[in-house]
A and B are shown apart, each in its own frame.
Chain A
Amino acid sequence: MANHIVKLHVFKRFERLWHWSQMVLIFTLIFTGFRVHGMHEWIHFDTAVMLHTWAALILLLIWAFATFWLFTTGEWRHYMPTAKNFIQVARYYALGIFHGEHHPYIKTYRRKHNPLQALTYLLVKIVIFPAIWISGIAYLLISFGFKDLISGLGIDCTACIATVHTFAAIAIVMFVIAHVYLLTTGHSFIDHIKPMVTGYDDVELSDEELAYLRADEPNRIAEKIN
């Protein structure tokens, strides 16, 4: 089975829009959120609250669309954890990278994330984001005068909700730092950003996949590299 490296359209327009709007909104939420927490006082408290609330509401909406998109298009499969190549990727970041080795992973048709990346994104999606959303929505409901609704659920501790929210936010900051840093590994920073802008990235395709794409989705192939 010969493998072909093909410049393929992997990140759909929605996905790219989702990613970059999410980036802008998450940076806004981090900046305003830590203002509300009292870490800095670079903007007025009420401005921070207003921006934080609006950014959260918009991100919620985008997330509703994204969840729908992930499940209806089957894209969710990309996030399922896999052991295949996991050790190699981990070994690469721990050792190989210092010896000038190439990244052991090339995107495949069914896997646009490397296994370490997929696991990280999955954890972000099922642990950190739910933590921030559940605590955030609870906090928002309290703020909007539905405190009884929250205490009705047996939670009568705004400070606890805020603590969960802040912990999740700290985890997101850690994720963002690692995420941005990892863009500097591999070929170059730009090479990592480009696919999320243009949508095209080098993907390893089998004969069958290539044949299928040529027949059914020819528009997705930009050029065949080898």
Chain B
Amino acid sequence: MNTCPRCPKHFCFIFLLLLFSFGTVASENKIEMGISEYAKTDENHPLKQPLKLKSKSTTDHSQLKELQQPFANGPEVTKACLQCHNKAGDQFRHNKHWTWNYQHPKTGQHLGKAVLINNFCTNALGNEGICAQCHAGYNMTDSHFDFDNHENMDCLVCHESTGTYYKTPTTTGDTACSVMFKGKPPIDWTKVAQSVTLPSRNNCGHCHFYGGAGDNVKHGDLSSVLFNPPKTVDVHMSADGENYSCVTCHVGEAHEWAGSRYQMTLSETMPKAGMPRETSTCVSCHSATPHPLTRIKGIKLNSHTAKVACETCHIPTIARGGVATKVAWDWRTMGRLKNGEGFKLEGYTQGNGEHRHTYKSIKGTFVYGENVQPVYGWFDGTMHYTTIDTKFDPKQPVKINSFSGSYDNPDAKIYPFKEMNTVQPYDKGNNTLVYMHLWGEDENALWGNYSFDKAIKAGMAKNNIPYSGEWDFIETYSYWPINHMVAPKEEALACEQCHTKNGRISQLTGFYLPARGDNKWLDLIGLFAVIGTLGGVLGHGTLRIIATRRRKTNG
């Protein structure tokens, strides 16, 4: 009788608990109305990591009389910069960050952001109004941009150090989208101009950590975690480690710097002390024999470096430190609306507690991954791309980029990649990829009108690409070489991650990999031989025992 009156209380408690947990589940799949998604670029960029050292530059730009004036916009600042830095314009004229064009020296392919199709938002060409947020220039509103007008170069995005600078889309886009850039505090051009210094990770990171319109969406090994990573995420960039900025490794001269995903440098010799370094590989600093020669393991590991990239063992997983990367994207679900309005679904909570969208009306469905194991392949450094004019077999998944290499190629190494898997539209009649018209104030823009039909037709037409008029969906893969997020050496891969049956690199062929069990015949012969010998001695022994017993019983 004493306990019974308490029952309702218990009941209440359980009910509340249920309600609470239901509420948690519901909030994980929270629906947000609207299609605004660029909150990150909307806000002021706080300086994510203070500069480690006081600038050692011989010039204090805040003292220069050329910068003691009100500037109305970016080009005015650039004009002032170029007055003194009178070679900078010519130098930057050839930089990929400006041209968005790249002529591959080996394959001859015309690459670069300006023309390529990826398996995220697909194409920047024709969508410059939104994509040129990450163009190191001003006023790139469409594909007819004057690259010879140096005043449109954006010096500040790479050199300012206040953390208050930001870039917005160069055109407004659909009315449903345009609301998202309202109400931002204006840039204090004089203040940011006076703050210029060598690029820090705050500069590089604000584009490169957010490639693909979100934190770590594209690369997997480049996320906002790198603004201030723990040593377990990145030994080079952690304040507890080397505290390197991006340009410590990505060295450059004359506004050209090392490190390209189109043509990667995999093998090189370490420059001697005092010699200039033009590449940004591990070997540039660590040499090709970095493991201690005083131990068997060190010697053995050093004999791996000719065939296994450092990154393969020393970056055990990507998307570490609490920020997820997008691993799959399905465009087929694009265009679902609620009460005629676009919406977003927060379906993934990543390690750092932030929610990520698993569905957006304008883009479709996404899958995220954290601590993702890379895929591995023989890679000689040369990337081949499926461009707009590449015809493919639609029965097979399309490789947006693919790489060549084999064990027998002395330049090739086993290399880690992030694999991105997408289902996206293609030209069904011509068997090519398509350019889509995503961003615009017109009725054809996908974002706002949700019609693949119109968006593809308009995207192909405005870029003068032949279009059959029929489209369908195709599965695509892209491969992102992994170089960042080098873990402490204690966390490097253990040997048996590869030296085992069904290990990380079991699918790679053409070479002897101890413990993989390559030679089935050898194993079979060995097994028969050993079992045969054992059987022989056991048989012989048994016969002896039987013979002895017989002799004993026979007296």
Complex Cα–Cα for A128 and B397 (A): 51
B residues less than 8 Å from A37 (CB atoms): 514-515
Q: Is B495 engaged at the interface, CB distance under 8 Å to the other chain? A: yes
Q: Mark A179-190, 1 if CB is under 8 A from B, else 0.
A: 001001100000
Q: Is B451 engaged at the interface, CB distance under 8 Å to the other chain? A: no
Complex Cα–Cα for A45 and B540 (A): 37
Tell me the minimal C-beta distance from A63 to chain B in angstroms.
Answer: 19
Q: Are the CB atoms of B530 and A170 closer together than 8 Å?
A: yes
From the candidates B512, B516, B530, name the one contacting A177 in the complex (CB within 8 A): B530
A residues less than 8 Å from B547 (CB atoms): 97-100
Complex Cα–Cα for A145 and B37 (A): 53
Q: Mark B295-316, 1 if CB is under 8 A from A, else 0.
A: 0110110110010000000000
A residues less than 8 Å from B533 (CB atoms): 173-174, 177-178
Q: Is A196 engaged at the interface, CB distance under 8 Å to the other chain? A: no
Tell me the minimal C-beta distance from B306 to chain A in angstroms.
Answer: 8
B residues less than 8 Å from A163 (CB atoms): 519, 522
Q: Is B525 engaged at the interface, CB distance under 8 Å to the other chain? A: yes
Tell me the minimal C-beta distance from B492 to chain A in angstroms.
Answer: 11
Q: Are the CB atoms of B525 and A170 closer together than 8 Å?
A: yes
Q: Are the CB atoms of B496 and A41 closer together than 8 Å?
A: yes
Complex Cα–Cα for A39 and B530 (A): 13
A residues less than 8 Å from B306 (CB atoms): 147
Q: Is B11 engaged at the interface, CB distance under 8 Å to the other chain? A: no
Q: Is A166 engaged at the interface, CB distance under 8 Å to the other chain? A: yes
Interface of B is mostly: helix
Interface of A is mostly: helix
From the candidates A97, A143, A147, A158, name the one contacting B544 in the complex (CB within 8 A): A97
Q: List 29 A-B contacts (CB under 8 A).
A: A37-B514, A37-B515, A45-B495, A46-B297, A46-B494, A46-B495, A49-B296, A49-B297, A50-B297, A53-B296, A97-B547, A100-B548, A144-B303, A145-B289, A145-B302, A145-B303, A147-B303, A163-B522, A166-B526, A167-B522, A170-B525, A171-B529, A173-B530, A174-B529, A174-B530, A177-B533, A177-B534, A177-B537, A181-B540
Q: Which residues of B contact A (CB under 8 A)?
A: 289, 296-297, 299-300, 302-303, 306, 494-496, 499-501, 511-512, 514-519, 522-523, 525-526, 529-530, 533-534, 536-537, 540-541, 543-544, 547-548, 551
Q: Which residues of A contact B (CB under 8 A)?
A: 35-39, 41, 44-46, 49-50, 53-54, 93, 97-100, 142-145, 147, 158-159, 162-163, 166-167, 170-171, 173-174, 177-178, 181, 184-185
